[in-house]
Structure 1
Amino acid sequence: MITLAPRTAPRSVRAALPDVFPVRSARSADAAALAALSQPFVRSGALRARSLSLYVADAADFLVVDAPDGTLLGCLGLSVHPAGAGAGRGASGVLYNFCVAPGSQGRGLGAGLLTAALVRANSRSLTALFTATTGSGELFRRHGFAPAHVAAAPPTWVDSLSPDRNSRILTRSL
């Protein structure tokens, strides 16, 4: 487990926050909570819709942050893609379904989840991480990500992207 401290907040807000937010691996029992946390972002178009069965199947991909009452405050998936034949590089990872509950944004939870994902990626000896974003990508850029050409990304992941979303691909070497 990795812990992260909340950003400095006004005293009235700090009093309601725990000293640290533990980041843990999700379990299949978290699937419904992952889907519920993601729904506002799906409705806004920031995330693709995923079925509950996908959250169950992919639960081990996710890192999550819990509120003291057990409610999920944030999540980030990391899928591993083996090196392609003749690619000349090792396995890479894809970060996906990154969200922090609207009432919990601005506290550093997203940065903590991203940092934990980088630690996990390094522990799995991945050579690069990729993500697709329809937003600014500012948080990713602050963590060393830069725009990438589609040809550099895992082909199976690229094929799953919807061209209608106009996502930009970002990468970071590890």
Structure 2
Amino acid sequence: MLRDPRAGARGRPGPGGTGVDARPRPADQEVSVRRARPGDAGELARISAPFAAADRLLRRSPDTFARHIDEFLVAVRETAVHGTVVHGAAVHENTLAGCMGLLPVPQCLVIYNLCVPPEFQGGGIGRTLLRHAVRRAADSGCTAILAASKHGGAWFTRQGFQEVDPDRAPEEWRRLSPAGRKSSLYCLRLDDR
């Protein structure tokens, strides 16, 4: 999962960054996960843009997200709008708190564009999205989940992924990874779970 693009490894400030985001996190970060909808494409592009600008994700336009919207899961956080009541019920606002693209390739599910905006990091949203990916992969008969990271895969290894040689990855994954990106590849074997 991608952390605040302003922070470098282990939370130290990266180029042009201020380090780990010190803003207080919401106490309750319970989220629901659903398939992305066509109307989410612009918001997916918006929350992914800072990570793409920091070269932590590939740059994708809202149109690109719209064309691939069926591949995305989104984490949605519902918050009450303070003091707003309509017909006796509190009004809630839904905010996209993270996203993950999932692309099936033979025997595997590839995770891509996994990101959680800084204001929602640290609350388990990435792990929640990953649980949904594991469930989908298992239901589809996949034996593994693959993910790539250009800037270290510490989050993936903490979730049980192991770094693997990209040359041993399925051909479909190699076609997805742009030449020269120099990403590391991580694999979560489902038969080990």
**1:109 aligns to what?**
125
Identity score, percent: 35
Summarize the alignment of residues 136-151 of structure 1 with structure 2, pairs less than 5 Å apart.
136-151=152-167
Unaligned runs of 5+ in 2: 1-23, 79-92
Q: 2:102 aligns with which of 78, 93, 110?
A: 78
Q: 1:135 aligns with which of 121, 138, 151?
A: 151
Q: 2:172 aligns with which of 156, 164, 168?
A: 156
Given the alignment of the two structures, is residue 50 of structure 1 paired with residue 60 of structure 2, yes or no? yes
Alpha-carbon deviation of 1:154? Answer: 2.3
TM-score (norm 1): 0.80
Q: Which amino acid aligns with 1:103?
A: E
Asked if structure 2 preserves the Cα contact closer than 8 Å seen for 1:47 and 1:97, the reply is: yes
Q: How many residues in Structure 1 have an aligned counterpart in Structure 2? A: 153
Q: Say if 1:30 and 1:12 are closer, same or farther in 2 by CA, change over 3 A.
A: closer
1:46 and 1:58 mapped to 2: Cα distance?
19
TM-score (norm 2): 0.73
Q: What is the DSSP-based 3-state SS (H/G/I as helix, E as strand, rest coil) of the residue aligned with 1:70?
A: strand
Asked if structure 2 preserves the Cα contact closer than 8 Å seen for 1:111 and 1:139, the reply is: no
Unaligned runs of 5+ in 1: 1-10, 83-90
